[in-house]
Structure 1
Amino acid sequence: MRLPVAAGAATGAVAVALYPLFQTGTWFWASLGAILVVTAVGMLASRYTLPVWPVPLAQLAVFWLYLTAVFAGDTAWARVVPTKESAVELAELVATGFADIQKFAVPVPERPGITLLTCGGVGLIAILVDFCAARLRRSALAGLPLLSLFVVPASFIGDPLSWPTVVIAALGFLGLLAADGRERVTHWGRAVLVRRTPSFVAPRPAAETGTLRLSGKRVGFAAIVLAVLLPSMVPTLEPNPLFGFGVGNGNGRGGNTIGIPNAMVNLRGALSLPANSTVLTYTSSDSASRYLRLYSLDVFDGTEWTMSPPRGRPQDRTSEGPLPPAPGQGAGVPAAQATTRVTVSEEVRRLSFLPLPYPATQVRIEGDWRADVDTLMVFSTTDTAEGGTYEVVSNEPRPTAEALRTAGAAPQAISDKYLRLPEDLPDEIVRLASAVTDPDAGKYEQAIQLQEFFTSKGGFSYTLATQGHGGPALTDFLIRSRAGYCEQFAASMAVLARVLGIPARVSVGYTGGTNISGQWTVRTHDSHAWPELYFEGTGWLRFEPTPAGAAGQGSATVPIYTQPEVTTGGDDTPTANPSTGPTGAGVPSGSASNPRNPMLDRDFGGVPVAVEEGTPTAVKIGLGGVAVLLVVLIPALLRAGVLLRRRRVYSRQALRSGAAGEAGEATATALGSTGIAAVRSNRGQATVAAAWAELDDALCDYGVSRQPSESPRALARRLSEQHEFDAAAAASLARIAEAVERMLFARTLGETGSFREDVRRVRRALASTVSRGRRVRAVLLPPSMLLRIRAMGTRLLDGFDRLENIRFGRPARRNA
């Protein structure tokens, strides 16, 4: 029955890889129960030697009983036996689970339908693994269903699986292979080879196949260690996707459709990457920085923000001329036109949406790129932009405060689409929107009040240690924790704006980046989300609720038109930030050769935001070399620790010997002569044992042979004569040998003193008899420590052997 147990353990080990897909662990316990049920049936089938094919059918039947009891017990007979009602309930849960999977982004909440699908999938995988391994005796073939379970999280999350997960899964599969190998080898008969058994000891039944199993374990463990450690030491062949394009989004080349990426999941992945890689660089005609938008999310279902599928008509190709006009932007609103030249890094992969300033009026790029009429997102179903360069002409509105205050009502089509909220939106959020804004104020003033609520008045803080932007997570962020990153800030302000009747959507892209030598550089950690609010006559305007500077995302900036101190001049342009640029776009005065972000000049005293450059390659190589050196020096460090511990034993003995004369009378009175002899004997034995162990290690380190039949005195005499020790070294070696023999054979040990100088003198004498290379090896790679490390590994393998020797059946009868 070993193979069914190993098959169940392998399935459970691989199932651990599913944990990043869920917010809690309910799915795991339900799946564990399914694995135990399948394994129990497999063990019974092996115990009573049932035919092969009825076993999977029996497992399916019992598995159905288990699912009925766990998920539809209220409608089942005796809470276990399926009925028509329980079957209908399970079918409804399955349908609900598939609907929830399409609706939720990972990590998904613990919904009954999703838990049922997960438990059912894990149970079916367990049946397939048991069938391949325990019935067909093809354990290697069982790796295919295990692999199908293992790749599920890799298909839905952009982050790589953690190394403990990979190790646990690999150990599970390795255990299955080892169990199968032992089952096969035991059918060959009695083996002659015996592992770690003296020649005069008879072979034990548990060790008959030990040598073969030991070799297999060593190969398996070595493969796992190399698979985990080697990639961390080798330079990456292909950089990680900077925004997660192509990871679970179904992007395909050559078709007429485009996959819709989960923008929020990709955003979190980009902000959490340890390396702050360059995404793109750009220059603009007015030298100003600009937010670059990728996605426009317009649908909020109460759980997450998503975007409607973009529509690109043939007449909306960028090669056909100007893009469609920006929705809601009137001809009379002041605007600043600028030309931006963008160069995308070659490290970016599958970039099917162009990062663009909003609103773009013309895009010059090679390939079939089309603009969505409603959002002006530019995308392609056949081309990608990595490593390419393109130019964008944008016409950014510069509205006056008065124009925004007097903006009319939004068109009905805009209101119907961008004011839509779920019916089950918590009342707490609705009340909060009214509490933080003035009900008598206009829409523009309310929008500014919302922005100030997040940036200064609401007590919010910026942190990446949170997840989610919808449902309970949104309520917790707004009402209780008030800690999150740009995803929560943007999504929350857009929801509150819709509650107040202001059309809103969420944009995902990049902040303006950092100016380096006259060129703006946008990096991975500049990934950002922000809300856009609609005002008739001006169109969609960016707002910034995410805290900036040291308290939040450093490159985020608050728009000028949302500042309370903004005034208007006679030419209907903001006067708080006079223009010196060529387009009147509000560029601060300064040298044209060193342009700065105007928001940085005003809010941070003109100091560019510090950006992590990432760890240089030379530093990585150096750190890798240091790590390898530390690993190589582990035996030397262990040897130094052992030597230090033994020297402390010598030192304590010397101190006790020196103090013996002063405390002799008091000790004799308290203990008597017999007690004193016992105490001194125990202390002396520890010192002698430490000296002899150090001598034994020194002989091993310097490659000096020691015959098993040699007594300590004979060994000392042979070494002194063979290597021609001087008188002092020979005398020290003789004293150590004599003390060892007295400890082993004499009635009393007598006075020993400290052997510290004796041991040191003998080590130097031994070192002088070998080559320099041998002395270096004795220090850096001492063989005595290597043997101890090998012994530790052997004991670890012995522990696995003991686990394998556990038998689940009845003990075999012994002949009388």
Structure 2
Amino acid sequence: MSSTDAAATPDTARRGGEWLLAAAILSALLAALLPVARVVESNAWLVGALLLSVLVLAAGYNARRYHLPAIAVTLIEAAVWAVFMTLVFLRDTAILWIIPTLDTFRAVPQLVETAMEEIVLGAAPLEATLSVAFVVVGAMGLLTIIIDHVVVTARMPLLAAVGIVAVSLIPSIAVPGDVDLIGFVFLAVTILFVIRAETRSREKPLEQEAERSAGVPATAVGIGAIAIVVALVATPLLPQPTLRAGAGLGTGPGIDATLQLGDDLRRPQEVEVLRLRTDSANVPYLRATTLTRFEGGVWEPDRVRTVPLASELALGEVSVDPDIRVTEYTTDVEVLYLESVWAPIPYPAVTVTGLEGDWGAVPYNRTVVAQSGSTQGQSYEVVANQPRPTLEQIRALSAGGEQVRDETTELPTDTPPIIAQLAAEVTAEATNDYDRLTALQRWFRGSEFSYSLDAPVEDGFDGSGAEAVAQFLEQREGYCVHFASAFALMARTLSMPSRVVVGYLPGQPTNDAIGAEPVYSVTSSQLHAWPEVYFGGLGWIAFEPTSGLGVPTSFSPAAALPGQSGEPGESAPAASPSATAPTGVDETDPEQQRGGTAAGAAGTAVDPVPLVAVAVVVVIVLALPFLVRELRRRQLDIAARRGDAAAAWQTVQDAAIDLGISVPASETPRAFAQRLIVEHGVPASEINVVLIAIERVSYSRAGTRSYWIGDAAADAAAAVRVSLLAATPPARRILALLAPRSLVIRPGSVYAAGAPVRAR
């Protein structure tokens, strides 16, 4: 081979290594991007994000071929990013579709703000709107520039790996779910690919150097194999996360007003969303919004006019018949972790004070909605006027009246007949509307129905439409959405105005109290839906049909009211589901929903399997560095016995680094060996064998192989390692074995200088 060919070979190989490194970075970015598809509907944005990454990496590769400075490479990549984003998303505001103008820069904050609102207030999976796609694709391009700079320019692949892993975890944190083992394996493999490709791109393309690093791929494979085994074997043994509700992707869970609560209730990681206290005898439900229109087989959130919350027309007084008693009570709400445009409030509220920002009220359903901002971090006070009719009074009233809208009684023409048939059968013996509704309530809460978050999904009716309700009535398993929707539709078949409310259960009492008022904690798993029916002269009355959840609505006879003669123990009437002991039930726990004692009994038993599984995982994780270091040592020993003197010398250097002995680049092998003899008691005969071997091959034209020495160098290196360990204090020796520094620190690097460790 000519001298020209010899000179060209290293550069050609280096460029090949750079291409391989770019491909590795792209694969790692793809692994980090795929989890985003779980929270944003798959669309052209995925192709756009990958295309932008390819263009940025290609621009960086070509810029480095001309040996441009790092800042120039970054500027070129940034220019590619800006041109691509302008052409794809903002070409209408640009010159020749690619040159940004002032209008282009003005449009960017608007797109980002719109995307943030959709992300914070939306439900996963988000619709891939223009603004959301702009943020996702743009962020992917910027991440590509950063990772390319960190890996290729700064040569810090481990730091880049941390960033890639962090990005891949964002969707899982926002919308927790089952562990994606395939995605984890893919991510682990791509990160190992990046680390290996970065190392390979810096190696000299000589045969002897390739042989010297033969143990590196095996070490990487060993790390990956052990990590994958831990993921596949140990992960299924870990305790399953607690289920929670809430669909928001912002700083806290949100409220999904489309009655698609099944996925929300099945999500893990339950959190405390708010706290409340009240001077009412019964802790109230907190309503967020109502759904009245039943169009296309689904319930639609009310879209009615709002007025400023401070306006006299905002909420107003509660209008009931003159002889019906109205009780006023005050509730204080503190939002801890809830990102929603609807403020959860008791019904029927007459005043709401303390909300910060621009808020409006909906007089029709007495809800409060943000014109801008959200509930996160808000504290407010609600005054409600609760109608409390007697049993005789409500039985004398009819469901309906002139003030209700037509949409409260409408039913689709193709409503399954089973809904009306069962409504008629269940209420056949009742003589008034209230008794008909309580008959339905008792029927749903009876032994024929059971609470289930899984059965609806298994049978394909995880919804609230007429067909889903019909299937629910046949199978008789479901959760709050099915109970509320079925009750409301059955009431409409009986010519009663009805609607569905979305909000929260009253929560559970805490150990805190303010004055004489105990503080109640409401968690994300207590997101709930319940039906309401309108009574003329009284207003909307809530019912609780969900099996095992809360307390059913009931009213007491006039003779049983306080101060009257009647049976003891009767509770005062309430116009909303009562909130006594059972309301603390977690809606995501089927055993608690059934109200039996099995849940309490089960809570006293301790399942040892999760504890053992956690212990096994901890042991494996703690042993992982030792196993990887041992694998690397064996690879070096095999290479040394094949005649690789550099591998034998590497064994000595790694042992020194593990024990905190400095291995600076400025020190010659002979000076390093002499220091080990004098300061650490290493046998001179053994270290000299390894020293002579590395010195001979360092100045030999034959390369790093030294077959003449046989196994002598490998045996001597092993003896030096044993001597170093024996001369080290026990605590330091154990640390060197369990947390070997040589896995992350290379000889001669700035981190290879440690505090001197002297012999005992």
TM-score, length basis structure 1: 0.47
Shift in Å, 1:458: 2.5
Give yes or no for the alignment of 1:393 onto 2:383. Answer: yes
Inter-partner Cα distance in structure 1 for 2:190 and 2:724: 48
Find 1:299's aligned residue among 289, 293, 302.
293
Shift in Å, 1:5: 12
Inter-partner Cα distance in structure 1 for 2:199 and 2:628: 36
Find 2:211's aligned residue among 175, 187, 197.
197
Task: Report the counterpart of residue 542 of structure 1 in structure 2.
Answer: 542
Q: Is residue 437–residue 449 contact of structure 1 (8 Å, CA) maintained in 2?
A: yes
Gaps of 5+ in 1: 40-100, 134-138, 141-146, 200-206, 229-239, 252-259, 588-594, 614-622, 641-698, 704-717, 723-761, 791-816
Give yes or no for the alignment of 1:354 onto 2:343. Answer: yes
Q: For 1:191-230, what aligned pairs fall within 5 Å after superposition?
A: 191-192=205-206, 197=211
Identity %: 21
Shift in Å, 1:362: 2.6
Q: For 1:5-154, what aligned pairs fall within 5 Å after superposition?
A: 14-15=33-34, 17-19=36-38
User: SS at 1:560's partner residue?
Assistant: coil
Gaps of 5+ in 2: 1-18, 55-117, 146-150, 153-162, 232-242, 585-592, 604-612, 631-654, 661-681, 687-718, 745-760
Inter-partner Cα distance in structure 1 for 2:24 and 2:212: 33
Inter-partner Cα distance in structure 2 for 1:489 and 1:401: 24
Task: Report the counterpart of residue 408 of structure 1 in structure 2.
Answer: 398
Q: Do the aligned partners of residues 779 and 245 (structure 1) sit closer, same or farther apart at CA in structure 2, a change above 3 Å counting?
A: closer
Q: For 1:800-811, what aligned pairs fall within 5 Å after superposition?
A: none
For 1:159, give the aligned amino acid. V
Inter-partner Cα distance in structure 2 for 1:191 and 1:357: 74
Q: Do the aligned partners of residues 264 and 503 (structure 1) sit closer, same or farther apart at CA in structure 2, a change above 3 Å counting?
A: same
Task: Report the counterpart of residue 504 of structure 2 in structure 1.
Answer: 510
Inter-partner Cα distance in structure 2 for 1:384 and 1:108: 20
User: SS at 1:197's partner residue?
Assistant: helix
Q: Do the aligned partners of residues 596 and 475 (structure 1) sit closer, same or farther apart at CA in structure 2, a change above 3 Å counting?
A: closer
User: SS at 1:342's partner residue?
Assistant: strand
Q: Do the aligned partners of residues 443 and 627 (structure 1) sit closer, same or farther apart at CA in structure 2, a change above 3 Å counting?
A: same
Inter-partner Cα distance in structure 2 for 1:766 and 1:178: 32
Inter-partner Cα distance in structure 1 for 2:296 and 2:322: 36
Give yes or no for the alignment of 1:521 onto 2:520. Answer: yes
Q: Do the aligned partners of residues 160 and 250 (structure 1) sit closer, same or farther apart at CA in structure 2, a change above 3 Å counting?
A: closer
Task: Report the counterpart of residue 714 of structure 1 in structure 2.
Answer: none
Q: For 1:76-475, what aligned pairs fall within 5 Å after superposition?
A: 159-160=175-176, 164=180, 167=184, 191-192=205-206, 197=211, 243-244=246-247, 247=250, 262=257, 264-265=259-260, 269=264, 272-277=267-272, 279-284=274-279, 286-314=280-308, 317-318=309-310, 320=312, 323-326=315-318, 329-335=320-326, 337-345=327-335, 347-365=336-354, 367=356, 368-382=358-372, 384-408=374-398, 410-411=400-401, 414-438=404-428, 441-463=431-453, 466=456, 468-471=462-465, 474-475=468-469
Task: Report the counterpart of residue 478 of structure 2 in structure 1.
Answer: 484
Q: Do the aligned partners of residues 354 and 250 (structure 1) sit closer, same or farther apart at CA in structure 2, a change above 3 Å counting?
A: closer
User: SS at 1:523's partner residue?
Assistant: strand
Instruction: Give the total of aligned pairs.
Output: 515
Shift in Å, 1:177: 7.5
User: SS at 2:559's partner residue?
Assistant: coil
Inter-partner Cα distance in structure 1 for 2:329 and 2:474: 44
Shift in Å, 1:245: 5.4
Q: Do the aligned partners of residues 519 and 457 (structure 1) sit closer, same or farther apart at CA in structure 2, a change above 3 Å counting?
A: same
Q: Do the aligned partners of residues 156 and 396 (structure 1) sit closer, same or farther apart at CA in structure 2, a change above 3 Å counting?
A: farther
Q: Is residue 398–residue 432 contact of structure 2 (8 Å, CA) maintained in 1?
A: no
Inter-partner Cα distance in structure 1 for 2:125 and 2:297: 10
Deviation per CA, 1:568-608, whole angstroms, max 9, x where unpaired? 3287989567689xxx7789xxxxxxx9938789x999x9x
Q: Is residue 451–residue 544 contact of structure 1 (8 Å, CA) maintained in 2?
A: yes
Inter-partner Cα distance in structure 2 for 1:498 and 1:470: 15
Q: Do the aligned partners of residues 106 and 293 (structure 1) sit closer, same or farther apart at CA in structure 2, a change above 3 Å counting?
A: closer
Q: Is residue 13–residue 168 contact of structure 1 (8 Å, CA) maintained in 2?
A: no
Inter-partner Cα distance in structure 1 for 2:628 and 2:188: 28
Shift in Å, 1:520: 3.2
Task: Report the counterpart of residue 501 of structure 1 in structure 2.
Answer: 495
TM-score, length basis structure 2: 0.50
Inter-partner Cα distance in structure 2 for 1:599 and 1:167: 41
Task: Report the counterpart of residue 782 of structure 1 in structure 2.
Answer: 737
Shift in Å, 1:403: 3.0
Q: Is residue 14–residue 168 contact of structure 1 (8 Å, CA) maintained in 2?
A: no
User: SS at 2:306's partner residue?
Assistant: coil
Q: Do the aligned partners of residues 500 and 482 (structure 1) sit closer, same or farther apart at CA in structure 2, a change above 3 Å counting?
A: same
User: SS at 1:452's partner residue?
Assistant: helix
User: SS at 1:357's partner residue?
Assistant: coil
Inter-partner Cα distance in structure 1 for 2:537 and 2:295: 28
Inter-partner Cα distance in structure 1 for 2:317 and 2:281: 25
User: SS at 1:393's partner residue?
Assistant: strand
Inter-partner Cα distance in structure 1 for 2:491 and 2:281: 32
Q: Do the aligned partners of residues 197 and 430 (structure 1) sit closer, same or farther apart at CA in structure 2, a change above 3 Å counting?
A: farther
Task: Report the counterpart of residue 533 of structure 1 in structure 2.
Answer: 533
Q: Do the aligned partners of residues 535 and 321 (structure 1) sit closer, same or farther apart at CA in structure 2, a change above 3 Å counting?
A: closer
Q: Do the aligned partners of residues 435 and 416 (structure 1) sit closer, same or farther apart at CA in structure 2, a change above 3 Å counting?
A: same
Shift in Å, 1:173: 7.6
For 1:324, give the aligned amino acid. G
Shift in Å, 1:276: 4.0
Give yes or no for the alignment of 1:770 onto 2:730. Answer: no
Shift in Å, 1:359: 1.0
Shift in Å, 1:542: 1.0
Q: Is residue 464–residue 485 contact of structure 1 (8 Å, CA) maintained in 2?
A: no
Give yes or no for the alignment of 1:597 onto 2:597. Answer: no
Deviation per CA, 1:317-368, whole angstroms, max 9, x where unpaired? 34648823447x3333232x232231314x3354543322211223333555
RMSD: 6.9
Q: Is residue 319–residue 365 contact of structure 1 (8 Å, CA) maintained in 2?
A: no
Inter-partner Cα distance in structure 1 for 2:727 and 2:199: 46
Task: Report the counterpart of residue 670 of structure 2 in structure 1.
Answer: none
Q: For 1:413-812, what aligned pairs fall within 5 Å after superposition?
A: 414-438=404-428, 441-463=431-453, 466=456, 468-471=462-465, 474-475=468-469, 478-516=472-510, 517=513, 518-524=517-523, 525-548=525-548, 553=549, 556-561=550-555, 566-569=556-559, 597=580, 631-634=621-624, 769-771=726-728, 773=729, 775-776=730-731, 782=737
Q: Is residue 349–residue 386 contact of structure 1 (8 Å, CA) maintained in 2?
A: yes
